[in-house]
Amino acid sequence: MKALLQRVSHSSVSVDDQEISSIGKGLLILLGIEKEDTAENAAVLCKKIANLRIFEDAQEKMNLSVSDIRGEVLVISQFTLMANTKKGNRPSFVDAAPPEEAKPLIKFFCETLREYGLSVKEGIFGAHMLVELVNDGPVTIWLEN
């Protein structure tokens, strides 16, 4: 499981020219699911994300988590995070979980984040999405489990 976290002041996702979700201050999470991933992988990653101290405190030090600031989270499924580019010029996605395995894990991931008290919004699995964001910092963190 791979997650690319971006600390944002605003983010939104649109499908077919219609905004379907938006958040203010918080995290945009691009989430990729690998064939071998389990609910346990998702739970561990959610705990890390809920407690990761990447927001600034009053002294401008990264000492606060998204939970601490009561930030919002936007989760976007993105199988392209599984791209293998070791050979040739065309990425291989053979390590990405098939949709029937990935979709329930992404739902579980979002529900687990909600159990930490976070406001979680989502994209639409499998849809062609347009994601907008204002990266605050910029702060971008790569997590794997």
Contact 13, 74 (CB under 8 A): yes
CA dist., res. 108 & res. 103, Å (int) = 9
Contact 76, 102 (CB under 8 A): no
Active site residue 38: no
CA dist., res. 40 & res. 6, Å (int) = 23
Catalytic residue among 80, 85, 112, 140: 80
Which active-site residues does the annotation give? 80
